Structure 1
């Protein structure tokens, strides 16, 4: 399996006298993986995301993104075509008066021929469930729809990596659910590598792998089950276990026989139903 992203010995500070914001980061991301970088506000996770498409370059160490060295400024345009970013506030990403124009914006800047651009725009709009909204003003859409417009614009560029930088944090539960479902579908159907940056442990549950960032350092790495069930270790990074894990832990303290491997809400419900039937 090839790696789409390789980070080695990354240190970063904003100027020579400043303290390091990121310290000795080592990270690889294989093709097709969904990696979640989890951390509390101020942990450095959004800063780290900016190295993946050369918005920032290391003070020390290196980042290889889609086979290109991010320190090589001649590669920055190519890197940013391959590593698309979707940011926190959907309103800040809207640059055009209609949905179809907004999806086309990145392609126009990339100099994609008109016929190919038109095909990519309408293919992406359909893939993201936005068909029928092509001529709508993006600002009139719901938060979830706006983020799907941003995803459609990213997908139209045919990137190898999509970075979601707190992309669901301003959405209501319905909008968050629909955006994450669309991202999961893109990953499965297109084998796109997904890197999500979040402080939301419930969002991290659907990743293939999690790394936890605290005070600019990677402190934990593993599968969601390995990382998110360890409530005490998470607390050291100012995080909490998912609600379903917290409930299961509390029930065990009250001598309710809940299996140790209960993780998701569905598993918790099934465990409670089984407990009720046998007691």
Structure 2
């Protein structure tokens, strides 16, 4: 493993992120605040508690997961798409750097930014509602593992996309709707039995549930199911990235 190459790619990506850090920090703070203002005023006054947790505190894990998924995908997809768009990817592929080192550098930087924004959102939420994290190590584990997994997905999207419009296609039309419908703002037990069964086909439910369990010890599905779903995403992501580099899909002219 060429750690110097990994470090160079990682720091280069972080340097690009730092140039938009103010925007990156202000956006999650404002978004999180607006969610609490809107949902706290519209729903919080009607629903005092969910599963023994105040409604404001109940939605915190879902909001953080929403930000984590979208930011991981967006950062990683743009990070690898821009070298493809500019042609710099061919210089990178011809350098004495392995495919694994390229992936670790880009995905690691995207995951780092996503985790940092998730923690900022958590700190912002603590200003609105009292938070207690029952399992802090599990919370960090879910945070990091989810960020890495969806940064891999973003890396794949960045290679697949032909233009900037396609970079937004999956986050806007798939990930964000699945997160909103994945128990971010409600517990599955609040739904009719039929829709509870349908919702279980939404993979984001398992991510939100596991992350919420790390806060309050409650979840819509078991911890094992949540870990299993993240593991499935991770294996699929690694498999697709391996196939992309092995086949040269959209990397070779």
Question: TM-score of the superposition, structure 2-length normalised?
Answer: 0.25
Q: Which has the higher strand share?
A: 1
Q: Which has the higher helix share?
A: 2
Q: Which of 1 and 2 has greater Rg? A: 1
- The structure showing larger relative contact order (alpha-carbon pairs under 8 Å, at least 6 residues apart) is 2
